[in-house]
């Protein structure tokens, strides 16, 4: 994953206090970018907080084992995991029981800002509190995948409120890097809630990474296109990056190969 880390620049530029947004287009899979960021955290011994709506922790661990790192070994130490949909499943079971003896931690029947506040509190209690215990350590908070919040009945306003709450963590934790992934659909759709959220995040993020399929269709040699946008002009000048850096990529079982557009040579 070293070539991916180099391509997106996280091994060079300063990301503390930044928002990284990964936009995953329909018919593509941006998971390899997350794995590169996780590998970076493991190598640099950064604290890693995973808020997982899409892939499970088991998935990230299994892929990590192929890439040479063990997430389970550091679980509840430098690696912390929240899987809200598992909490939802538990709550549904409690609601269906005859006698509810405990308060619901994440009540999806309450589709309002109260639901968002519940989720934010879970993240803050489980992740940010542990980050404060290691005040000098850099922290990555990864949310995968934000678009699944629509699946629990939240609307655009609710999710934007959630983003604002999470983004405020950066103000309290200057060593924290917030990384958010979200799925988007065909841009020709007149109204698509996931696309609205993605567009807002693209404007507010410090680093935007876009993963999309090939416009020309499927290929045995290329899996898709990777585009990297650093908003900071000072960082671009410092490392001589262009405003938009575009690559073609090919996914393999244990690695990802990058190519310059129009080239068959590995970068």
- Please give the average per-residue pLDDT across 98-121, as a whole number: 66
Q: Residue 49: beta bridge partners?
A: 80, 141
Query: Rounded to whole angstroms, how far apart are CA atoms 219 and 224?
Result: 9
pLDDT digits (tens, 9 = 90+) for 161-215: 999 988 887 777 888 899 999 999 876 655 788 888 999 999 999 999 999 998 8
Model confidence band, residue 101 (pLDDT cutoffs 50, 70, 90): very low
**Nearest in space to 230 (alpha carbons), one of 209, 258, 256:** 209
User: Is the pLDDT at 75 greater than 90, yes or no?
Assistant: no
Calculate the alpha carbon distances from 183 to 39, 54, 56, 136, 260 in Å.
22, 10, 16, 33, 25
End-to-end Cα spacing for the chain: 13
Over residues 220-242, the mean pLDDT reads: 90
């Amino acid at each position: 994953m070293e070539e991916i880390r180099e391509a997106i620049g996280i091994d060079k530029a300063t990301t503390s206090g930044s928002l990284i947004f990964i936009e995953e287009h329909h018919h593509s899979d941006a998971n390899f970018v997350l794995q590169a960021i996780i590998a970076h955290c493991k190598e640099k011994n950064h604290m890693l907080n995973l808020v997982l709506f899409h892939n499970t922790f088991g998935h990230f661990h299994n892929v990590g084992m192929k890439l040479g790192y063990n997430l389970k070994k550091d679980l509840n130490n430098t690696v912390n995991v929240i899987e809200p949909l598992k909490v939802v499943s538990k709550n549904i079971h409690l609601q269906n029981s005859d006698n509810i003896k405990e308060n619901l931690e994440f009540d999806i029947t309450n589709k309002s800002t109260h639901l968002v506040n519940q989720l934010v509190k879970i993240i803050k209690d489980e992740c940010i509190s542990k980050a404060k215990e290691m005040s000098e350590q850099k922290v990555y908070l990864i949310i995968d995948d934000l678009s699944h919040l629509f699946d629990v009945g939240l609307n655009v306003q609710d999710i934007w409120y959630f983003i604002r709450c999470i983004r405020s963590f950066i103000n309290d934790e200057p060593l924290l890097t917030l990384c958010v992934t979200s799925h988007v659909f065909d841009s020709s759709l007149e109204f698509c809630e996931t696309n609205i959220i993605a567009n807002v995040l693209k404007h507010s993020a410090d680093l935007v990474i876009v993963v999309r399929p090939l416009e020309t269709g499927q290929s045995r040699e290329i899996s898709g296109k990777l585009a990297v946008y650093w908003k900071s002009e000072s960082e671009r000048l410092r490392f001589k990056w262009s405003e938009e850096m575009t690559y073609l990529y090919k996914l393999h079982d244990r690695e990802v190969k990058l190519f310059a557009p129009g080239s068959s040579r590995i970068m």
